[in-house]
Amino acid sequence: MSGQFLYGANIFANGIRQHYLRYGGKGAPVVLVPGITSPAITWGFVAERLAVHHDVYVLDVRGRGLSSTGPDLDYGLDSMASDVVHLAKALALDAPALIGHSMGARIAIRASNMKPAAFSRLVLVDPPVSGPGRRPYPSKLPWYVDSIRLSLKGIDAEGMKAFCPTWTDEQLKLRAEWLHTCYEPAIGTAFEDFHKDDIFPDLPKLSVPAMLMVAGRGGVIEQADVDEALSLNPAIEIARVENAGHMIPWDDFDGFFAALGDFLSR
């Protein structure tokens, strides 16, 4: 059983065109914010499952997919977080839950602190915990840039396999088709900000229930990071997907939903 894809749409919010995909249409609203090089459509397989019980909106973050892009936009964390706040307001969503993966989780944290009453709960899926004075994010910028440049010329699923060797053919085809929409300067700014913006000071300010989902094989979040997060906000719920790398639903789809459990519907 899967949730129904309803439509894709554009809305003008926070001064830009924001494109989103809507699934389900019934139940409590959920806004899903993807990671650094993941257009909304690549999260469709997750949104379909969520949409069995929820009204799901998957966002193309600025500089990706069909949302506004180009050299005149600010691609910093605060601007991306403000987009989410304004999107929820423009769509008249009643305190949606936010699910953010990687960069999207950092966006969700910042958006919730910008407008606490706008959101009901947060699912933070393996966010980068790098920052000033901290260990670097384990992925390297050329991994993103090289694949984007190849996609601009045209790349197929087989070519994409060199970058994502464990993905299914369908997932590789989608990435090959859509990666060219990721604007390289936007990706570079976001990657640099992984190391400039320390997200830990945001954690004590969170005023809504939050889950931190940790990839057991991701190398992004270590036990010391979990301990620090809990010392700053003991209310954060920790969920682990032991057999997954950073791209948790791609590596262990069932494990992702087992870790999520009933958190969205409590």
Which residues are catalytic, by number?
Answer: 102, 222, 246
DSSP string across 26-59: SSSEEEEE--TT--GGGGHHHHHHHTTTSEEEEE
Angle between helices 141-153 and 184-196 (to 10 degrees): 170
Q: How far is CA 42 from CA 35, 46, 177, 196, in A?
A: 10, 9, 10, 27
Measured CA to CA, the distance from residue 192 to residue 197 in angstroms comes to 9
User: Could you count the other beta carbons within 10 Å of the beta carbon of residue 124?
Assistant: 29
Measured CA to CA, the distance from residue 206 to residue 212 in angstroms comes to 12
Question: What tokens were used for 237?
Answer: 């719920």
In whole angstroms, what separates CA 261 from the centre of its chain?
18
DSSP string across 162-212: TT-TTS-HHHHHHHHHHGGGS-HHHHHHHHHHHHH---GGGGGG--S-EEE
